[in-house]
Amino acid sequence: MGFPVFTNSTFLFILSLYNAVYISCGVAMDDVIRGMGSAFLGSRLKRLGERMQAGAARAITAAGLEVQPAHMPLLVALDGRALTIGQLVQVVGVSQPGITRGVGQLGEMGLVRAETGRDQRHRTISLTDNGAAAIARAKLFVFPQVTEAIDRLLAGRADELLAIIADVEHALAATPLDQLAAQAQPNVLSIRDYSDDLAREFHDINAEWISDMFRMEETDRKTLENPRASIIEAGGAVLFVEARELGIIGTCALQKTSATGFELTKMGVRKTARGLKAGEFLLNAVIDKAHALGADPLYLLTNSRCAAAIHLYEKLGFRHDAAIMANYGARYARCDVAMRYVGAETGVAA
């Protein structure tokens, strides 16, 4: 069975049900778990379940029972029959350690007993007389009241919510969430063209790495403080990489330096976003943009201290070039590496 395909209206419906329970339970509207939406659905359901079980526990106590809500499924499963631990795992759907712990607690309360079969291998669990009396009391004074409370809480839509939960349970049994997550390939990164409202991002991202590794030079300031005049209006381009939920995390420019020549310059990724392969994603987009502009040569100037960046440049088709160094290298005092793009087909393997 595959993962169920829920329509938008179905999702809105289930969220409205959760919201009704959430608000009725008195939970604040502006919190981290709720704000993260479906990404934190498991945490939200766990929190909701804990609040509902807390209320159920008080109802159980009011009925004169000492058990906890987590014990109730075990008592129901053992009502009128004896089961092994393995069978309890199957019918309750809880892990073996959880079942064993719960059975031990019920045993200490005198509500269940364990008996070993004739072959000495299988041990069955059954209710004691006190356990049978406890489940009978729960049927009379707990289950009906809690069921009625849930129906009121959900305005009579409990059956619909339970049906949706059953669909999710069946789907997860077929394909665990981690496997579904591995199959998903959302468009996490995207490319944005230059606009004046992004000028500050261009400045700050580059100022961060330049100041960390070197010192800001006059040519840096001229470019960073007015990218429209120094790059865009001169025939160049500035691209940005944006990450979903994180915003702009990287940038790179193509600065026109001759009739057809372009320098790939001012490429940086925020420290907080490194490791996301944003640099490679961005660099590929910049190379494509350079092709569209007819760049010849397409080159870059850097420093040997930028080893990781140089490896990436080599991977995507840039080569060390003495002529580029001789013609353009004097632009930056820190420049001791000059590279020219010759095509990815001749690049070194990663």
CA Rg value for the chain? 32
Report the 10 Å Cβ neighbour count for 92. 17
Structure-derived torsion over alpha carbons of residues 317, 318, 320, 326, reported in degrees to the nearest 10: 140
Quick one: pLDDT at residue 245? 82
The greatest distance separating any two alpha carbons of the chain, rounded to the nearest whole angstrom, comes to 95
Quick one: pLDDT at residue 166? 93
Distance from the Cα of residue 87 to its chain's centroid: 35
266: alpha, beta or left? (left if phi > 0; alpha if psi -120 to 50) = left
Quick one: pLDDT at residue 185? 59
Quick one: pLDDT at residue 345? 54
Query: pLDDT per residue over 249-303, tens digit each?
Result: 999 999 999 999 999 999 999 998 888 889 999 999 999 999 999 999 999 999 9
Question: Which tokens belong to 41?
Answer: 């659905």
Residues in the chain, pLDDT under 70: 1-30, 117-121, 184-186, 344-350
Quick one: pLDDT at residue 10? 47
Quick one: pLDDT at residue 346? 44
Quick one: pLDDT at residue 81? 95
Q: Which amino acid is at 317?
A: G
Assessment of whether the complete model's pTM goes beyond 0.85:
no
Domains and CATH numbers, the chain: 8-183 (1.10.10.10), 189-346 (3.40.630.30)
Which residue blocks in 109-237 are alpha helix, DSSP H? 129-141, 143-153, 158-174, 177-183, 199-213, 218-225, 227
